[in-house]
Structure 1
């Protein structure tokens, strides 16, 4: 178990936080926090992994503000997940965050035993109103993925894009479909090679899968997993990043990235806990671009190298997404090669 040093400061509610909880109803005083909220993160992978790193970053930011006292456990196996949840609950943590995609039932059973603790968990399922202290979230960054797809569609010369994912769960599927839709905006004839490696963190396997796609004609890769951009760099093809910005690490390889910002999600939960209104809810909405939960990373070294027509379309669509006049389709079905 890895833990960070704790710091204590008085919580200062912001107008943004107040707006997030305005009109909310839910649990009463047991979930109200008078001091920085004792918060624990439980992760099945290293905190360096893309998805978890964004949760970890947001929690560290909240700790620096004095909103929470944050500790975490990483590399927790699925068989140990419920046990670790109970340990933190017994230690008096009031907000527990993590990802329960593989342990949904066990996690909800633990939450039911600790009704005075707020659980905010990444999940492929929705909230259960009967379990008032268990809220769910997911990274609905399809808006940014769609925009990155437009860029990919404009940059591929072979009209063949390789896509390497972890598991075909809704959270991954919707991002891939959005990316594919964006690419087809530039070239409806683009072909996609789609493969899942059956792991959230296996860079060597992701890299080998990407090599096979390059051999199959792909000159652009969608790097949903670590290892894919390494393959692209070695073979001299391009890549599109996901969740985090790796352009600085691959300046000649990663053209663009769809970024997830977990801060709006966590800030909403913090505000609700402090107000005593935390309840079963779907926090996925806070990942939408119009909520500040996702963005297209700066192009860095590729600034000025993407065709003007593509960048014009990106600007047009981004403005429309933020204005609420354009919606990117959310398709959670498993994507297939075409």
Structure 2
């Protein structure tokens, strides 16, 4: 369900179903089991659901809805200043499980969770879980990011790779650093141009940043944000996707993508809420490749265009990751240009 042209408050009023006061704050150490067949779930997103990161949560919840496991409502493009109010409205409206991302409203979101201990919260966060009901998750997809870096390092002819990110926060930094490490494994001579646009969703700004890097010699672009692949397509250079597979939209541009799958995290949260066993925990490990939370997209239109020896190296490295024989370093520090 999408409502274009409505403000957040109007969308929320339309989507919220008032189902009693199950989420009101009461003194309790554990969340109850829910006898009904469907868990009532809400999503609260600070960007449009088309944005790649949020789209993975939304897609996983829509799949659960299609199976008949949940009733799902959501609000998108919620401003940080309005986030706490929306959380409270959903909790008081009877939503048993609430997903979202609270990177800019951490303190307020955790205060809301304390006020509604019988509501389960699963939130994108850089910090630890909070007992009894505030779980955290993150896109720990540094493993496939490393593999895409190996491909990028082999495909560049200029030995210059451009990287455009949203903000230099751990969730972005660890993926970019892993990508850079992968590229350097197969090409020690590769250099990187790194830039952050200061926005989670500004395709025109990301596109302009990418143009500038291409003008300085980058022939492969790391598309952490929407807009980068558009620039790469126009200038006829290559791009590497992040979180979602955009090769169908850019068949001659996007070589490979590191994919994030939120289904393991979403399905676990739904199951524990339904069973009455939900507790605050870190869902980060469910984004690892061995948990099915991330993967390397098929080469698709670039099958046969990536050198065979590189494909073999990537497949071997991927198997080592899955077998626990190779660990991709998690580096949350801000990546720097090496030009």
Superposed CA offset, 1:147-206 (max 9, x none)? 111100010001100000000110000000110011011111210000000000000000
Q: Which residue of 2 aligns with 1:264?
A: 264
Written as runs of structure 1 = structure 2, the 5 A alignment for 1:191-202 is: 191-202=191-202
Q: Which residue of 2 aligns with 1:203?
A: 203
Provide the rounded CA distance (Å) in 1 between the counterparts of 2:15 and 2:107. 32
* 1:91, distance to aligned residue in structure 2 (A): 0.4
Q: Which residue of 1 aligns with 2:246?
A: 246
SS of 1:285's equivalent in the other structure is helix
Is the 1:121–1:136 contact (alpha carbons within 8 Å) kept by the matching residues of 2? yes
Is the 1:164–1:224 contact (alpha carbons within 8 Å) kept by the matching residues of 2? yes
Aligned residues: 318
Among 40, 57, 60, the alignment partner of 1:58 is 60
Superposed CA offset, 1:9-43 (max 9, x none)? xxxxxxxxxxxxxxxxx953525453211000000
* 1:66, distance to aligned residue in structure 2 (A): 1.1
Among 103, 109, 113, the alignment partner of 2:105 is 103
SS of 1:199's equivalent in the other structure is coil
Provide the rounded CA distance (Å) in 1 between the counterparts of 2:252 and 2:286. 32
Q: Which residue of 2 aligns with 1:284?
A: 284
Among 122, 125, 139, the alignment partner of 1:123 is 125
Is the 1:203–1:225 contact (alpha carbons within 8 Å) kept by the matching residues of 2? yes
Structure 2 residues without counterparts, runs of 5 or longer: 1-7, 18-27
Structure 1 stretches of at least 4 aligned residues deviating more than 4 Å after TM superposition: 3-7
Superposed CA offset, 1:201-246 (max 9, x none)? 0000000000000011100000000000000000010000000000
Whether 2:199 is the aligned partner of 1:190: answer no
Whether 2:274 is the aligned partner of 1:295: answer no
Is the 1:141–1:259 contact (alpha carbons within 8 Å) kept by the matching residues of 2? yes
Distance 1:56 1:198, change over 3 A: same
Q: Which residue of 2 aligns with 1:225?
A: 225
SS of 1:183's equivalent in the other structure is helix
Is the 1:6–1:69 contact (alpha carbons within 8 Å) kept by the matching residues of 2? no
SS of 1:30's equivalent in the other structure is coil
How big is the alpha-carbon RMSD for the aligned residues of Structure 1 and Structure 2? 1.6
Is the 1:27–1:276 contact (alpha carbons within 8 Å) kept by the matching residues of 2? no
* 1:272, distance to aligned residue in structure 2 (A): 1.1
Is the 1:206–1:227 contact (alpha carbons within 8 Å) kept by the matching residues of 2? yes
Moved more, 307-316 or 101-110: 307-316
SS of 2:177's equivalent in the other structure is helix
Q: Which residue of 1 aligns with 2:331?
A: 331
TM-score by length of 2: 0.91
Among 112, 115, 129, the alignment partner of 1:113 is 115
* 1:6, distance to aligned residue in structure 2 (A): 10
Provide the rounded CA distance (Å) in 2 between the counterparts of 1:119 and 1:6. 17
Provide the rounded CA distance (Å) in 2 between the counterparts of 1:173 and 1:132. 29
